[in-house]
Amino acid sequence: MPRCVTICAVGSVDKSILEHLAECISARCGLTCKISLRMESPEYAYNQTRCQYNSKLILKHLLRQYPSDTLRFIGVTPADLYVPILKFVFGLAQIEGQYSIISLHRLYPQFYDQPSNPDLFLVRLEKTALHELGHTFGLTHCRDRRCVMYSSTRMEDTDFKHPDFCLTCFALFRWHLEKALDQNPV
């Protein structure tokens, strides 16, 4: 199994967004990233009543459709995601699993009737991706409101936290990463 994170557009996503995400993960986590070919838009997960996409169905689809020859997989979609018990989610991941999905939909300042701000959008993207990646390595939500692993139920939570793990979460992340690499040598 390669020691890399695969990043894949699920639907139409600008390649520069994927490239930025790859650079972020590489810099902050020390992991090599590769960008995969785009997957189709997740119409199979669309809920007409909610006008949103069920993130759990997308994860199940990724599990069935995408090869597991990568250390971790991050799907990036423009679709507005939800889980049945919540109004929306910024992303979803398997705890200690390979797959995660993040949504760009609510990360844009324009969603909140604010002016376009590409820098703010990219910082939100980084925080969301690192948070979901942390879950795939076994991290749960942190009590430190500044840690990237703090639960974001509102955009204000995401904006308040740092785009990094706190010292405790980073140590746990590194431990889980080493464990995963030991189990899957090159």
Cβ atoms of 136 and 173 within 8 Å: the answer is: no
Q: Which two tokens stand for residue 119?
A: 């820098």
- Of the residues 19, 132, 156, 178, only one is catalytic, namely 132
Question: Among all chains, which residue has been given the structure tokens 């520069």?
Answer: 16
Cβ atoms of 47 and 151 within 8 Å: the answer is: no
Residue type, 66: Y
Q: Is 132 a catalytic residue?
A: yes
Secondary structure letter of residue 45 according to DSSP: G
Q: What are phi and psi of 55, to 5 degrees?
A: -65, -30
Cβ atoms of 128 and 91 within 8 Å: the answer is: yes
Q: Which of the residues are catalytic?
A: 132
